[in-house]
C-alpha cells in the first residue's frame, strides 16, 4: 500500500486555519510555479480534502506531492469565486488546469462614428464634397481595442466572415470602405462607385443625411432587424413613386431586391435566433477540441476550433471538485443498507441525492466558457453539447449585464446547428491527431538519426539561424525555435545586423550567434537556463566553421551544431548535414522523415528572415532614399506630403503643381521632388 505523503507542518497548519467561506485557492511547487487554481463554496472543506486522502499514483496524487505552498483569496459569493478562478487560470497558466489560449484576437466589423465639423450651413449647402471623411462613416475590418465612440459588430469567427459581411453591405447599402486620406483627396468617383458598391460621398454624389440613413440601415441589418428595413424601404419607395420621383424609387427598388436576395439565401440556414454561440466538444486520444460556431444577426457566420492544453491532467483533478468524499459516500451506502435490512418501509427512507461526477465534456465546456468570455462579448444564448454549471451562467450574466441562457438539448434549427458543430469538432480533432502523429514520427526519426535523446521527445529543442539581405542592404538574421513537436512562433527572434562589411554572411552569423548565446551560456552554467539540443545553421562548411569559433569562444559543446548544406544543383531532398565536431557529413535520404523535419525548420528560418529583411528594406527606402534624401525635405515636410497624398505612392503619382500645394513646399522644391521620384 502506498504510504501517504508527508507535508510541511506549516502548510498543514495553514490548511487547518482556512475559513468556511467561498474563495479561490492556488497551489505552488518548489520552484514557485503554479500547479493548480481552484474555487470552492467552502474553502476549508475543499482544500482539506486534498490533504486528508491518499491519492496514490494518480495525477491528483502527483500534483498533491508537489505542493509546497498555498495561497487563498476569500470572496463574497461562489459566483465571484468562479470569475476570479478563471481570470487567474488565464493569467497564470497552471500546469493542472484545462487551459485555452487564443492565437489572436477576434475580428470585428467596424462602423466609424460620423463627426460633422462646425462650419456654416452655407458652406455645406454649396458643396457636399467640402465635408471631410469623418462626416461619412466608414465600414472596415478591425482587430484591437474597442473605442466607445465607434460601433463594432461581432466578434466574427474569421477574417473571411467579416469580409463577406462587408461585401454584402456594399451590395445593399453602398457604404464607403476607403481610408480617410484617400477619401479627402478624391476628385472623381472610384471603381466601387462604377460597379454600384459605393455612393461616392467623397465627391458629393450623396448627401450626409441620406448617407446617415444608409449607415443606420446597415447597423440594423447587422443586428438582425432585416424585416423592419424592408418595410421602411418599401414605404419610402411608394412615397417617391407617388411624387413621380421614379429615379429615387428605382434606387430603393434595387436596394430592396438586393436585400431580399440576401434574406432568401439565409432563410434556409437560420431560425428566429439573432445572436447565438454553438459549442461542441470532442475528446479522443487524450486530446480535445471545442468547436465554436457563431450566429450573428440571424446569420450563421462559420466556426472556429480550439484545442485546450492539459486536458488529461486537469479533468482528473477537476472531477475531484465535483465528487463527495469517499467516506461520506460509504456512510450513505451503509446507512441505506442497514435501513433496508431492519425492515424499514421504503416510504420511510428519504432518498439521498449524491452529486454525480461531471463528464469530461462538461468540464471542458465550463473551462472554455469561463476563460473565453472574459474578454469576448457573450451572446444571450449558448447552445451546448453537454450540460454546464448554472452557477457559471449566472456569474457570467451578472458580470456582463446580459441575461444568458445555456441550452443543452436543443430542438429544430438549434439542433441542426449543434450537429453541424459536433461534426466539425470530430473532423478538426481527427486532423490534429493525424498531424501530431506525423510530427512526432519526424521528431523521433531526427533524434535517432543524430543520436539525440529519445526518452523525452517533447522536450527536444532545436534552434535554427539564417541570414538574409539584398546585395548587403538591410541585413537581418532570424532565429526560429522548434520544440514540443512544433514550431514555437512566440519564441522567434530577429536580429538587425550592423557594423559589418555589406554582404559578409560569415560576420553576420558570428554576430547573431554571439548575441544569442553569450548570456544564455552563462545562465546555463548556473543552471538558470537550458541550451538547445541542436543548433541548425542554414549553410555549409563556412557557416559551420564560424559557428564553431563562436561556440569554442563561449565554451559550448560543438556537438550541438549542424549545418544544412544544399546538395548538388541546390535541389530539395539532396541536403547534407555538416557537423562542427569533426563528424563526417550525413545524407539522410530524400524520403527521410528526419530530413523533412530539418527542411521544415530551415525553410521557416528562411521565411522569417526574408520577411523581416524586406520589411526593414522597405522602411529604409520609403522613409529615406525616396523623400528624406532629397535636399530640403525634413521629417515635418515628409509627414505633410505623406498625409496629403495618402502615402509614397500618392506622392509619386502627383504632379509638381499638386505637390506645390502642400504646406511648406515651394514651387522649386516641388519640381525637385518630382524629378527625384521620376
Model confidence pLDDT, tens digit, residues 520-573: 988 888 888 889 999 999 888 889 999 999 999 999 988 889 998 887 766 666
State the cell numbers at 224. Answer: 438582425
What confidence score (pLDDT) does residue 274 get?
76
What confidence score (pLDDT) does residue 107 get?
85
Q: Which pTM value belongs to this model?
A: 0.60
* CATH number at 626-677: 1.10.150.20
Residue labelled with grid coordinates 500546469: 95
Return the CATH fold of 276-345+361-426. Nucleotidyltransferase; domain 5 (3.30.420)
**311: closest CA among 359, 378, 356, 374?**
359
**203: closest CA among 137, 113, 127, 134?**
127
- The segments of the chain whose pLDDT lies below 50 read 1-3, 120-127, 129, 264-271, 323-333, 335-337, 339-340, 344, 346-347, 349, 352, 354, 620-625
What confidence score (pLDDT) does residue 270 get?
45
Buried b (16+ CB within 10 A) or exposed e, 607-629: ebbbebbeebbeeeebeeebbee
- Give the H or E element holding residue 518: helix 505-525
What is the C-alpha to C-alpha distance for residues 259 and 173, in angstroms, rounded to an integer? 9
Helical packing angle, 226-242 and 246-267, nearest 10° = 160
What is the C-alpha to C-alpha distance for residues 545 and 554, in angstroms, rounded to an integer? 14
What is the C-alpha to C-alpha distance for residues 134 and 204, in angstroms, rounded to an integer? 14
SS3 content of the chain, % helix, strand, coil (to 5): 50, 15, 35
Q: Report strand pairing: 561-565 vs 534-537.
A: parallel
What is the C-alpha to C-alpha distance for residues 219 and 137, in angstroms, rounded to an integer? 11
What is the C-alpha to C-alpha distance for residues 231 and 213, in angstroms, rounded to an integer? 14
276-345+361-426 and 626-677 agree in CATH topology: no
What confidence score (pLDDT) does residue 326 get?
43
In the chain, where are the structural domains located? 9-92, 108-115+125-267, 276-345+361-426, 457-619, 626-677
What is the C-alpha to C-alpha distance for residues 466 and 536, in angstroms, rounded to an integer? 9
* CATH number at 9-92: 3.40.1440.10
Report the DSSP beta bridge partners of residue 303: 293
CA distances from 561 to 297, 423, 572 (A): 56, 46, 21
- CATH code 3.30.420.340 for 457-619: yes
Residue labelled with grid coordinates 474553502: 43
Amino acid at each position: 500500500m502506498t504510504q501517504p505523503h508527508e507535508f510541511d507542518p506549516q502548510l498543514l497548519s495553514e490548511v487547518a486555519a482556512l475559513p468556511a467561506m467561498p474563495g479561490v485557492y492556488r497551489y505552488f511547487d518548489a520552484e514557485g510555479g503554479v500547479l493548480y487554481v481552484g474555487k470552492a463554496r467552502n474553502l476549508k472543506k475543499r482544500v482539506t480534502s486534498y490533504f486528508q486522502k491518499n491519492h496514490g499514483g494518480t495525477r491528483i496524487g502527483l500534483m498533491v506531492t508537489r505542493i509546497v505552498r498555498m495561497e487563498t483569496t476569500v470572496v463574497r459569493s461562489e459566483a465571484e469565486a468562479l470569475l476570479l478562478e478563471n481570470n487567474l487560470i488565464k493569467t497564470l497558466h497552471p500546469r493542472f488546469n484545462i487551459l485555452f489560449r487564443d492565437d489572436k484576437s477576434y475580428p470585428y466589423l467596424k462602423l466609424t462614428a460620423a463627426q460633422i465639423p462646425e462650419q456654416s450651413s452655407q458652406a455645406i449647402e454649396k458643396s457636399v464634397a467640402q465635408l471631410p471623411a469623418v462626416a461619412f462613416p466608414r465600414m472596415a475590418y478591425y482587430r484591437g481595442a474597442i473605442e466607445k465612440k465607434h460601433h463594432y459588430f461581432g466578434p466574427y469567427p474569421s477574417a473571411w466572415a467579416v469580409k463577406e459581411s462587408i461585401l454584402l453591405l456594399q451590395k445593399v447599402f453602398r457604404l464607403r470602405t476607403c481610408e480617410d486620406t484617400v477619401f479627402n483627396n478624391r476628385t472623381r468617383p472610384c471603381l466601387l462607385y462604377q460597379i454600384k458598391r459605393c455612393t461616392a460621398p467623397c465627391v458629393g454624389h450623396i448627401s450626409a443625411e441620406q448617407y446617415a440613413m444608409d449607415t443606420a440601415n446597415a447597423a440594423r441589418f447587422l443586428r438582425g432587424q432585416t424585416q423592419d428595413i424592408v418595410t421602411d424601404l418599401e414605404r419610402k419607395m411608394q412615397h417617391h413613386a407617388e411624387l413621380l420621383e421614379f429615379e429615387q424609387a428605382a434606387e430603393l427598388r434595387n436596394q430592396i431586391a438586393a436585400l431580399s436576395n440576401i434574406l432568401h439565401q439565409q432563410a434556409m440556414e437560420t431560425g428566429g435566433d439573432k445572436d447565438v454561440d454553438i459549442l461542441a466538444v470532442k475528446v479522443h486520444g487524450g486530446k480535445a477540441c471545442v468547436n465554436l460556431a457563431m450566429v450573428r444577426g440571424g446569420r450563421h457566420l462559420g466556426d472556429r476550433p480550439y484545442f485546450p492544453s492539459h486536458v488529461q491532467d486537469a479533468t482528473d483533478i477537476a472531477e475531484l471538485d465535483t465528487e463527495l468524499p469517499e467516506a461520506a459516500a460509504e456512510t450513505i451506502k451503509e446507512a441505506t443498507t442497514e435501513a433496508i435490512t431492519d425492515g424499514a418501509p421504503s416510504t420511510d427512507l428519504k432518498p439521498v441525492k449524491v452529486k454525480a461526477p461531471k463528464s469530461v465534456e462538461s468540464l471542458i465546456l465550463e473551462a472554455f466558457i469561463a476563460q473565453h468570455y472574459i474578454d469576448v462579448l457573450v451572446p444571450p444564448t449558448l447552445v451546448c453539447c453537454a450540460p454546464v454549471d448554472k452557477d457559471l451562467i449566472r456569474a457570467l450574466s451578472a458580470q456582463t449585464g446580459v441575461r444568458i441562457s445555456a441550452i443543452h438539448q436543443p430542438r429544430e434549427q438549434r439542433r441542426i446547428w449543434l450537429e453541424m458543430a459536433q461534426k466539425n469538432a470530430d473532423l478538426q480533432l481527427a486532423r490534429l491527431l493525424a498531424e501530431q502523429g506525423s510530427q512526432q514520427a519526424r521528431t523521433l526519426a531526427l533524434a535517432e538519426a543524430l543520436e539525440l535523446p529519445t526518452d523525452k521527445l517533447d522536450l527536444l529543442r532545436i534552434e535554427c539561424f539564417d541570414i538574409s539581405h539584398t546585395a548587403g542592404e538591410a541585413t537581418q538574421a532570424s532565429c526560429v525555435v522548434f520544440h514540443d513537436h512544433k514550431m514555437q512562433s512566440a519564441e522567434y527572434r530577429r536580429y538587425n545586423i550592423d557594423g559589418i562589411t555589406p554582404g559578409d554572411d560569415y560576420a553576420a552569423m558570428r554576430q547573431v550567434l554571439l548575441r544569442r548565446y553569450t548570456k544564455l551560456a552563462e545562465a546555463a552554467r548556473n543552471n538558470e537556463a537550458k541550451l538547445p539540443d541542436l543548433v541548425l545553421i542554414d549553410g555549409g562548411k563556412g557557416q559551420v566553421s564560424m559557428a564553431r569559433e563562436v561556440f569554442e569562444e563561449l565554451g559550448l559543446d560543438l556537438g550541438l551544431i549542424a549545418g544544412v548544406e544544399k546538395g548538388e544543383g541546390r535541389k530539395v531532398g539532396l541536403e547534407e548535414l555538416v557537423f562542427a565536431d569533426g563528424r563526417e557529413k550525413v545524407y539522410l535520404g530524400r524520403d527521410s522523415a528526419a530530413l523533412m523535419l530539418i527542411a521544415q525548420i530551415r525553410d521557416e528560418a528562411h521565411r522569417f528572415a526574408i520577411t523581416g529583411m524586406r520589411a526593414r528594406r522597405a522602411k529604409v527606402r520609403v522613409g529615406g532614399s525616396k523623400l528624406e534624401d532629397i535636399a530640403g525635405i525634413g521629417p515635418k515636410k515628409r509627414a505633410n506630403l505623406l498625409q496629403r497624398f495618402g502615402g509614397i505612392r500618392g506622392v509619386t503619382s502627383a504632379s509638381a503643381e499638386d505637390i506645390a500645394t502642400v504646406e511648406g513646399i515651394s514651387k522649386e522644391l516641388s519640381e525637385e521632388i518630382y524629378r527625384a521620384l521620376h
